[in-house]
Amino acid sequence: MRMKFNRIKYKNISKKVVEIINNEEKFVLFSHKKPDGDAMGSVLTMYCLFKKMNKNVEVAWDDEVPYQFTFLPYSNILKKNIPSIDSNTVLISLDNSSKDLINLLYPGLKREDYKLIINIDHHYKNTEFGDINLVTPDASSVTQILYNVFKENDIEIDIRMAECLYTGLVTDSGRFQYINTTAQSHLMAAELISLGVDPIKIFRKVFENKPAEILNLYNSMISRAKISKKGSFIYSYVLQDDLKNLNLPYSASMNFINMIRAIKNVKFASVFKQEKDGTYRVSLRSSSNVNVSKIAYVFGGGGHPMAAGYHCKSKNLVECVTQLEDELY
């Protein structure tokens, strides 16, 4: 069941978040593992804002920066970094449905070790783990939530922030085609463009900026693609050796799933991405009324109705595929 949206409660929380932003001085930002456009966009939007306000801000980061997003302002600061925190630190979690990442980066963290956690998210099964929870399941992206906060509280959006906000919006809405795309999403895009965002530039950087070696990767993944007997489910996989042999980053396989999802009569698609430890990260996409987030949650993952994912802890690909097929059928 989806959370009921309470506009009055939302506005009160929004004002409280801005009050903290204005009054506190030390912030640490977080987003999820294997960052996508919304994770990158929301983290860097807030980083731009805090730098403009001369606040003490750091990003807790333990991942690669996908090449698709290296054009974003301050993306060069995203290197392995576990900032020190103390009783004056405000932790801001962006696009996380639970506290798992904070617990992973800071094992044994106690409540008295930090000032508070602000949780800003749009997953409908968010656990509301923050001291302040700004959770809007109907928002197309976390950057849309941030945009609304800025507009409602008269926070100026400069061109750097606008580019980050737009990137999160265009990627998490599936290029404005997922069911979370609303009139408000398009109005937000229109205003960001009026502020100077170049949608063609961002589209090309994110979606048309692939290294030539990706042709060989896609060739392998296409040859491995399998469609179920019923024709409604399609999947493929990528191995660590594929990436190593082609000298490609993990993020090179990020958009392949949208290619196979577009096959006629396919209702949902999956790509199994081998991790360095041999287990598999499983991406899910829907082309119909199939809610793939419900499937992901069965396996301890999460996401949205049309885009979700989870971690299969088995190192046996056949076992991971069978596990998913059993759940689907």
Residues 263 and 193 grouped into a single domain: no
Identify the domain boundary among 171, 206, 241. 206
Q: Are residues 314 and 177 in the same domain?
A: no
pLDDT at 74: 97
Q: Are residues 35 and 138 in the same domain?
A: yes
**What average pLDDT does this structure show over 130-157?**
96
Residue 250: its pLDDT value, please?
Answer: 92
Q: What are 137's two structure tokens?
A: 């399941």
Last residue of a domain, one of 174, 206, 238: 206
Closest CA to 43 of 143, 151, 177: 143
> Is-contact 180 140, C-beta < 8 A?
yes
pLDDT band at 130 (very low <50, low <70, confident <90, very high): very high
Residue 256: which domain range? Answer: 214-328
Q: In this structure, what CATH number is given to the domain that contains residue 268? A: 3.10.310.30
Asked if 92 and 186 sit in the same domain, the reply is yes
State how far the Cα of 96 lies from the Cα of 32, in Å rounded to an integer.
Answer: 6
Domain annotation covers residue 115: yes
Residues 34 and 54 in one domain: yes
What is the CATH classification number for the domain harbouring 61? 3.90.1640.10
Q: How far apart are CA 267 and CA 287, in angstroms?
A: 5
313 part of a folded domain:
yes
pLDDT tens, position by position, 236-254: 999 999 999 999 999 999 8
* 231 in the same domain as 125: no
Q: Could you tell me the pLDDT band of residue 156, with boundaries at 50, 70 and 90?
A: very high
Q: Which of 283, 199, 195, 303 is closest to 236 using CA atoms?
A: 283
Count up the domains in the chain and report the number: 2
Quick one: 96 and 233 in the same domain? no
CA dist list (Å): 191 to 72, 178, 195? 19, 20, 6
Q: Is the pLDDT of residue 4 over 50?
A: no
pLDDT tens-digit series, residues 265-323: 899 999 999 999 999 999 999 987 888 999 999 999 988 888 999 999 999 999 999 99
Determine the pLDDT at residue 2.
Answer: 40
Judgement on whether residues 291 and 152 belong to the same structural domain of the protein: no
* Average of per-residue pLDDT values in the chain: 93
Q: In this structure, are residues 144 and 49 in contact, taking their beta carbons and an 8 Å threshold?
A: no
Q: Is 131's pLDDT higher than 50?
A: yes
Q: In the prediction, which pLDDT does 304 show?
A: 86
With a CB cutoff of 8 Å and minimum separation 6, the contacts of 279 are 311, 312, 313, 314, 315
Tell me the pLDDT tens digit for each residue of 37-78: 999 999 999 999 999 999 999 999 999 999 999 999 999 999
What pLDDT is recorded for position 5? 46
Closest CA to 309 of 278, 259, 263, 273: 273
Stretch 8-12: mean pLDDT, rounded? 69
What's the pLDDT at 6?
52
- Domain-located, residue 2: no
Give the residue from 150, 155, 165 showing the smallest Cα distance to 197.
165
Domain end (from 145, 171, 206)? 206
Q: Do 74 and 188 share a domain, yes or no?
A: yes
Say yes or no to pLDDT of 10 above 90.
Answer: no
Query: Is residue 194 domain-shared with residue 241, that is, in the same domain?
Result: no
pLDDT on residue 7: 54
Output the pLDDT for position 3. Answer: 44
Same domain, 272 and 303: yes
317 shares a domain with 277? yes
Quickly state the pLDDT bin for 171 (edges 50, 70, 90).
Answer: very high
Label residue 121 by pLDDT band (50, 70, 90): very high
What tens digit of pLDDT does each residue of 83-106 get? 999 999 999 999 998 998 899 899
Percent above pLDDT 90 for the chain: 81
CA distance 101 to 89: 17
Kindly state whether residue 271 falls inside one of the protein's structural domains.
yes
Residue 1 lies in a domain: no
pLDDT of residue 11: 72
pLDDT at 287: 84
